[in-house]
A = this chain, B = another copy of it.
Amino acid sequence: MAYKEKCGVFGVYNVEKAAHTTYYGMVGLQHRGQEGAGLVSCNQSEFRLHRGHGLVTDVFTPDDVDSLGGINAIGHTRYSTAGGKTQLEGFQPFCVHYRMGNLALAHNGNLSNATELRAFFENQGVLTQSTVDSELFLHLISHSKRSSQIDQIFDAMTQAEGAFSVIILTDRFFCAVRDPNGFRPLCIGRLKGRGRDGTDGYCVASETCALDLCKAEYVRDVEPGEMIIIDKKTVQTGTFSSLKLPQKFGTSQCIFEYVYFARPDSRVFGEFVTKVRRELGRQLAREWPVPKVEEGELLPVIIPIPESATHATLGYHEESVKMGRPCIFDFGFFRNPYVGRSFISPSQELRDLKVLCKFNPMEHTLKDRIVVVVDDSIVRGTTARQLVKLLYAAGAKQVHVRISSPPVTDPCFYGMDFPSKEELFANKYQGDIEAMAAWLQVDSLGYLTPEGLVEAATRSSGTRHSFCRACFTGVYPVPIEPTGRRDSSLDW
Contact = CB atoms under 8 A, between A and B. Distances in A.
Interface of A: 17, 20, 23-24, 27-28, 30-31, 34, 49, 55-58, 60-62, 65, 87-89, 96-99, 103, 122-123, 125-129, 138-139, 142-144, 209, 212-213, 215, 263-265, 272, 274-275, 307, 310-311, 314, 318, 328-331, 333-334, 336-340, 342-347, 350, 353, 356-357, 360-365
Contacts of A57: 338-340, 342-344
A132 to B, nearest CB: 12
A352 to B, nearest CB: 9
Nearest to A144: B125
26 contacts: A24-B346, A24-B353, A30-B338, A31-B338, A55-B338, A57-B340, A57-B342, A57-B343, A58-B342, A98-B125, A98-B127, A98-B128, A99-B122, A99-B125, A103-B127, A125-B142, A209-B360, A212-B356, A213-B360, A264-B331, A265-B360, A274-B331, A274-B365, A310-B331, A314-B329, A314-B330
A128 B96 contact: yes
How many copies of the shown chain assemble into the complex?
A: 4
A293 to B, nearest CB: 17
A171 B103 CA distance: 31
Given A27-B338, A274-B365, A353-B24, A344 B125 contact: no
Contacts of A275: 364
A57 B58 CA distance: 15
Contacts of A346: 20, 24
Nearest to A334: B265
Contacts of A58: 342
- Sorted nearest first, the 10 A-B pairs with minimum C-beta distance are A272-B364, A125-B143, A265-B334, A99-B122, A57-B342, A96-B127, A30-B338, A125-B142, A265-B362, A265-B360
Contacts of A31: 338
A363 B96 CA distance: 40
Contacts of A314: 329-330
A24 B343 CA distance: 9
A23 B60 contact: no
Contacts of A55: 338, 342
A344 B213 contact: no
A212 B24 CA distance: 37
A98 B122 CA distance: 6
Contacts of A215: 350, 353, 356
Contacts of A362: 264-265, 272, 274
A27 B62 contact: no
A227 B157 CA distance: 43
Given A126-B98, A127-B139, A213 B356 contact: yes
B343 A62 contact: no
Contacts of A34: 338
Contacts of A129: 96-97, 129
Contacts of A122: 97-99
Contact of A139 (B125, B307, B356): B125
A141 B92 CA distance: 26
A340 B139 CA distance: 39
Contact of A336 (B27, B329, B356): B27
